[in-house]
């Protein structure tokens, strides 16, 4: 079955968004690695891998649906942050943006009566609930830890499932 024509461009825009998120998480991982915060770095390296998997899901679905995915340049990225909480806040804002993009794609699929695309997108709807929960909990933990970032390292080390579960 082929993808509705009006969904092709928005799907390609989402591929760009997922690859951008993947690259942005690499930049955040590097920021934490350079601070000597290895667990936080690994958390964001894993998040980066997950975002690449998300992009691949869109690519595969488009190929199966006789639509041509376009591999885009990623958007402008941020490589420096004033503090760990600023970096994680930036990640949370990015997840909120992706959530509204996914919801918008669902709106289009419903409008086009493209049931296959709608069904495909439902995985992402649920995934975004988890992504926002993971990131806002991490931000909360960083704020509670204050200056003692080793507490955050311990928290991330004990809760690796947060990043691994969804991939």
Residues near Fe ion, by CB under 5 A: 18, 51, 54, 131
Q: Which residues contact 143 (CB under 8 A, 6 or more apart)?
A: 85
Position of minimal CB gap to Fe ion: 54
Quote the least distance from Cβ 131 to Fe ion, whole Å.
4
Q: How far is the CB of 51 from Fe ion (least distance, A)?
A: 5
> Measured from the CB of residue 124, what is the shortest distance to Fe ion in angstroms?
7
Nearest residue to 80 (alpha-carbon basis) of 37, 22, 30, 41: 30
Q: Give the total residue count for the chain.
A: 167
Q: Which is nearer to Fe ion, 39 or 131 (CB)?
A: 131
Q: Which C-beta is closer to Fe ion: that of 54 or that of 162?
A: 54
Q: CA–CA separation, 41 vs 44, rounded Å? A: 5
Cβ distance to Fe ion smaller for residue 18 or 153: 18
Would you give the DSSP letter of residue 3? P
Is residue 44 within 8 A of residue 32, CB to CB? The reply is: yes
Least distance in angstroms from the C-beta of 67 to Fe ion: 19
Nearer CB in complex with Fe ion: 51/153: 51
The CA-to-CA distance between both ends of the chain, in Å, stands at 26
């Amino acid at each position: 079955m082929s993808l509705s024509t009006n969904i092709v461009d928005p799907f390609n825009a989402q591929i760009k968004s997922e690859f951008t998120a993947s690259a942005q998480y690499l930049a955040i991982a590097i920021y934490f690695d350079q601070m000597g915060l290895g667990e936080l770095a690994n958390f964001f390296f894993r998040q980066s891998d997950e975002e690449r998997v998300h992009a691949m899901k869109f690519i595969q679905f488009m190929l199966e649906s006789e639509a041509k995915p376009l591999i885009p340049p990623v958007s402008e990225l941020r490589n420096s942050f004033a503090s760990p909480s600023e970096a994680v806040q930036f990640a949370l804002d990015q997840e909120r943006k992706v959530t509204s993009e996914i919801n918008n794609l669902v709106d289009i699929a419903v409008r086009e009566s493209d049931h296959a695309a709608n069904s495909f997108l439902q995985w992402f709807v649920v995934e975004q609930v988890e992504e926002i929960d993971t990131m806002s909990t991490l931000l909360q933990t960083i704020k509670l830890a204050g200056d003692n970032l080793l507490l955050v390292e311990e928290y991330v080390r004990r809760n690796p499932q947060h990043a691994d579960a969804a991939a």
